[in-house]
Amino acid sequence: MKKQFPNNFLWGGALAANQVEGAHQIDGKGLSTSDMQPHGVIGHSIERNLGDFHIKDIGIDFYHRYPEDIALFAEMGFKCLRTSIAWTRIFPEGDEEIPNENGLAFYDRLFDEMIKYNIQPLITLSHFEMPYGLVKKYGGWGNRKTIAFFDHYARTVFERYQHKVKYWLTFNEINMSLFSCFTSAGLPENSKIQDIYQALHYQLVASANAVKACHEIIPDAKIGNMVAAAPYYPLTCHPDDILESLKKNREWLFFFDVQARGYYPSYMTRLFKEKNITLDITDEDKIALKETIDFLSFSYYMSSCATTNLEIIKTSGNIINPVKNPYLSSSEWGWQIDPKGIRYLLNMLYDRYQKPLFIVENGLGARDVIQDDGSIIDDYRIKYLNDHLFQIREAIEDGVQLLGYTSWGPIDLVSASTAEMSKRYGFIYVDRDDQGNGTLERRRKKSFNWYKAVISSHGNTLQAPEVENENNQ
Ligand code: P53
């Protein structure tokens, strides 16, 4: 029997406004937290000085070049394109009553362009940014008032785009604020864990309110959440490591638990007690949280290992991936490559929630080299994506209900953690370097035609992984 992706599977790619659009102060846009972090989102909450270089000020100039880019996505056969609305284009300071019409009009043009090619927009309300005005005046998500500002923003865009956008996400990688709390939550870096969970609670309430508003305003739409899902394996079969992996997985599963089930899981009571955390959770909040998401969506780049053995060498690869798995290789940025991990993850989530899933980010950040003839032979990227999609198809065969797959950065963009152009994910190359030099010209890589063939064949062109390299080491 032939294994296939469903005919209505939403194949595509994923972007974020702050990593592609540029035009950071055009047509009335206000400054966002992302505009304040010239060096990336991890550990850099510095306030920006006038005249500082910031690669995202121009990004890949998607604000002006989107028709060309969407035409290229259509050429690859995309059924879906994930991007985000920059909240600061709609409400520049965050607390205005009247939205900025120029910002609203931009997304009308953008969504119309997608719809022209039958590409479904999948739209994130807040992707690693919020109005800096709300941070200065109210302390960002540290303040309960931000729930109301977000609600006004969400309702404004649901009303405006109700006939164009039928797939929505609330907060991108909501759990990342546990590691880097300025970008999405607007909290000072090194905030106390109590303050971070409080801000996250307000976001969870705001997310549930947005789900409710979306259901009211666009009854035929589906709305999901977004979690950075990096499953933890126990490093050894020592019972301490097993328990540690349970604990580490609950750090991110917590966000699915609340958003998919509608209440705080009981294990958090002990965690909050041990960390001396007392949260402001009202009865109204508890009622609000009951509005649950229609599908679960997440990014998947890597798996991690959990251990209580402090002697284990730490790799400096990634803030959420410190312990090395001896069976896996890593990307140049230290992200452990684990295609089978996505099959495990999909099964684990479907077993736990029995709701449709949507993979809204997955991909390999790598340096690309332009050959003398102008071509870019990105076989490493093809292998990474092939091996992951192969395992995703296995998971569908296992019975998992999967709505779609949007690979991260189908066109090269500015990386989030390190604000680099040279960490590339795209099927389409963009001529721009880390210093901002380059023509911004677009160019198809080898993976462009590869992905096109995967989509048009419903995955039939995928190859079985040649060697199980992770078992050879
Ligand atoms: P970059 C860390 C770990 C996993 C995913 O990341 C992460 C991060 C934070 O960067 O973020 C997501 O660009 C995020 C995207 C981001 C993408 O992963 O650092 O949702 O905005 O670009 C890849 O290589």
Report the catalytic residues. 361
Q: What is the mean pLDDT of the chain?
A: 94
Instruction: Please tell me the predicted confidence (pLDDT) of residue 318.
Output: 54
Instruction: Please tell me the predicted confidence (pLDDT) of residue 469.
Output: 52
Residues with CB under 6 A from ligand 1: 16, 19, 41, 128, 172-173, 176, 228, 299, 301, 318, 320, 361, 365, 408, 415-418, 423
For ligand 1, the distance from its centroid to the CA atom of residue 372, given in whole angstroms, is 31
Which residue's alpha carbon is nearest to atom 21 within ligand 1?
A: 416
C-beta separation of 131 from 94 below 8 A: yes
Please tell me the distance from the alpha carbon of residue 389 to that of residue 343, in angstroms, as a whole number.
9
For ligand 1, the distance from its centroid to the CA atom of residue 412, given in whole angstroms, is 13
Please tell me the distance from the alpha carbon of residue 401 to that of residue 355, in angstroms, as a whole number.
8
Please tell me the distance from the alpha carbon of residue 14 to that of residue 127, in angstroms, as a whole number.
11
Beta bridge partners of 390: none
Instruction: Please tell me the predicted confidence (pLDDT) of residue 467.
Output: 66
Q: What is the C-alpha end-to-end distance of the chain, expressed in Å?
A: 33
Q: What angle do CA 258, 264, 267 make, to 5 degrees?
A: 115
pTM of the model as a whole: 0.96
The pick from 179, 417, 421, 424 for probing ligand 1's pocket by mutation, whose C-beta has the most ligand atoms within 8 angstroms, reads 417
Which residue's alpha carbon is nearest to atom 2 within ligand 1?
A: 417
Q: Residue 365 gets which letter from DSSP?
A: -
| Of 99 and 49, the one with more pLDDT | 99
- The 10s digit of each residue's pLDDT in 56-84 is 999 999 999 999 999 999 999 999 999 99
C-beta separation of 51 from 72 below 8 A: no
Task: List, in order, residues 6 or more apart from 325 with CB less than 8 Å away.
Answer: 233, 235, 303, 304, 305, 336, 338
Domains of the chain: 10-457 (3.20.20.80)
The average pLDDT across 88-116 equals: 98
Please tell me the distance from the alpha carbon of residue 25 to that of residue 1, in angstroms, as a whole number.
55
Of 5-19, 239-253, 300-314, 392-406, the one with minimum mean pLDDT is: 300-314
Can you tell me whether residue 232 is helix, strand or coil? strand
- For the CA atoms of 457, 461, 462, 464, the dihedral, rounded to the nearest 10 degrees, stands at 140
For ligand 1, the distance from its centroid to the CA atom of residue 270, given in whole angstroms, is 30
- DSSP-derived secondary structure for 301-332: S--EEE-S-TTSPBP-S-TT--BPPTT--B-T
Which atom of ligand 1 is closest in space to residue 414's alpha carbon? Answer: 13
Task: List, in order, residues 6 or more apart from 119 with CB less than 8 Å away.
Answer: 12, 70, 73, 74, 78, 79, 80, 81
For ligand 1, the distance from its centroid to the CA atom of residue 457, given in whole angstroms, is 29
Q: Which three-class secondary structure string do you get for 326-357?
A: CCCCECCCCCECCHHHHHHHHHHHHHHHCCCE
For ligand 1, the distance from its centroid to the CA atom of residue 42, given in whole angstroms, is 10
- The 10s digit of each residue's pLDDT in 195-244 is 999 999 999 999 999 999 999 999 999 999 999 998 999 999 999 999 99
Which residue's alpha carbon is nearest to atom 14 within ligand 1?
A: 416
Which atom of ligand 1 is closest in space to residue 128's alpha carbon? Answer: 21
Task: List, in order, residues 6 or more apart from 62 with CB less than 8 Å away.
Answer: 15, 20, 21, 22, 69
The pick from 176, 182, 300, 434 for probing ligand 1's pocket by mutation, whose C-beta has the most ligand atoms within 8 angstroms, reads 176
Backbone angles phi, psi at 30, to 5 degrees: -90, 170
For ligand 1, the distance from its centroid to the CA atom of residue 300, given in whole angstroms, is 10
The average pLDDT across 84-112 equals: 98
Can you tell me whether residue 451 is helix, strand or coil? helix
Q: Which pair of structure tokens corresponds to residue 445?
A: 């890589």
Query: Which stretch of DSSP H or E encloses residue 224?
Result: strand 222-224
- The 10s digit of each residue's pLDDT in 6-50 is 999 999 999 999 999 999 999 999 999 999 988 887 655 567 877
Q: Which pair of structure tokens corresponds to residue 118?
A: 């039958």
Please tell me the distance from the alpha carbon of residue 299 to that of residue 363, in angstroms, as a whole number.
9
Which residue's alpha carbon is nearest to atom 6 within ligand 1?
A: 416
